[in-house]
Structure formats: structure tokens, C-alpha cells
Structure 1
């Protein structure tokens, strides 16, 4: 209600990156055996229904893969959730801190198109047609984004690259993000997320 009064067009539920809602849909974190067990994603459903009482579009940033071997929060679970719940849009994400995850939320290095396996699974089950899907992670330029567009994704996010240079799509390699993740460290310290490279130029 406050978001609507403030003039926002929509709200996004954060159910990713091992925050509370994403932990409830992963059996690595949520070991309950009652109606709130991970496989039934009831808390996420309840929160969605509560927010829907306000006439405003509701999307989700959805954990689609914990990258933890032998546990349930993976592509299969993500498809089940997206198939069962009515979101106005879905942003695909994954990874996390701790728990033996193969990948953290924000990856260093040069991995490309992190969540292509998720997008291809959604496409195979015709879930890309159910609502707009946003995919972020591993995109450096327009050519990278085209891979996701070719898979049927309507929206691609670039995230931290805008902290480095909000004109990077026009400027090319000028002031290029090197994925050092120092911007995330500053955010975790309770300060504004800024690019550390910008501070030394």
C-alpha cells in the first residue's frame, strides 16, 4: 500500500540470494516437514497473496538454483514455482553465500549468461510465455544480451555495470566493469554502492 501511495508502478518480492524467502523454498535451509516445507513454497505463496490485495503489479526475484549439490532448489523447483504461482514478472537469479554453494550471488571472473540453463528449461515448458522474464548475470554488451533474446527472454539486466559507467552500452570498453565486486563490499558495509575504480581515476 505504501509503495502504491508513493507512486511506484510495481513491487518485486526478493526471493533470491539466500534471503529469507529464498531459504524457505530450499531444503538445504528449510528442513520443516509441515505445510511450510520447501517443496510446497507456502510462505512465498502467502506473501504473494498478501501483496496482491493491493492493486499493483507484483513480480519476484526468484532463486532458481542454489548451486548446492544434492539439494532441491534447482531448475526443476523453479519451474514448478513459476508454473504454480501467478507473478506479473519474474527475474531469474541464483547462487548465494555459504552452504557450500558452487557460485556466490555475484560472480567474479568472466562467466557468461549465468542462468541460460534456467531460461532454456522455462522455454521447454512454455513458461516464458506465462509472464515477462528478466535475466541478469554474465552480460557484458549487446551481443551477450542477444543470446538471451534469441532464447526468448524479453528483458536483460546488466546490474553492477551501470555503477561503473551508465553509458557503457554506448561507450563500449571505455570505463569497463571488471567484475571485481568491490561495489558489493561497500553496500554490505551500509554505504552506497559505488564503483571503486571510479574512485581512483
Structure 2
């Protein structure tokens, strides 16, 4: 038998490979306006937590961030509230922090007025105000001791009053209600 060889199949051109889009990162980058550093956060992180973490890592006399905004050239910025989730808005949008000095140098006179009124309370941006605890001072200790002494003095006065109340009531009865007045006279 003759060796029949069938012509080998010619390699068929493979279908063009589809380009898979690059995987979207599972994080967002926030540019810190004060320090110029970029911080990475997981997608969906609370904006308030991100601001607090950024402010905690700032060193020196750098102005702390008040909130985070998504900015793009030619577009109005999108502000993230303290409970908003950080997300990526696509090409050209970048996340960056905003400081109170950035806001006060802006165009809005209304914002300046509202931040001046709320500056002491920290109510202009909830969740970002931090109270710094003062160390215990001598004056603080004296005030605490004075409060304790005052409590004990008031307690002693009240105790003495209650101890002498029966005698005081008897004194008032004898003074104003003389029992001799009601005795029959013969």
C-alpha cells in the first residue's frame, strides 16, 4: 500500500485577539494639596476617613485638609462629603484635598462668612474638626480641688441643718405658739 499522505492542513489564521481593557485599579489616588504627596485609598473608602488619615500624616506647619474634591479642567469640582465613598470619575478627573485657606481665598463671599461663624465649633465641615487636649495644668488641679471642698462644705452645712431641725421646729413652736395662751384662766 502506498503511503498516502494527506496534505497537512495549512495553519488557519487565528482570529484576532481582542484587547482586554486594562484592569481597573481597586484604589483611588488622592493628591494632597498641602504636601503635594499622593495617597492611595481603596475604592469606596469614606472621604472623611481619608481626610483624617491624610491630616494625621501631615507633618510640620502644613495646612490640614478640610475635604476632598474631584477636579477636571473646564469642569466644576465635585466635593465629597465626610460620609461619601471615594470613587474614580474616569479620564481627566483627579481627586485632591481642599484646605480651608483654599476656600477662603476663593470667589464665594458666602463661604467665608459661614466659615468665620463656625470656626470655633468646627461645624463647617463635620468630621474633620479635631480637638487637641491640653495637658493638665496647675490651675486645672486647683479648680478640681476647690470643687471637692465646696461639695464637702455644702454637705456639712446640710447635715448640720438636718441635725438641728427638730430643735429649730420646737423653738419656733414655743416662740410663736405659746401653749400658755390656750390654758383656761380661772
Length-normalised TM-score, structure 2: 0.24
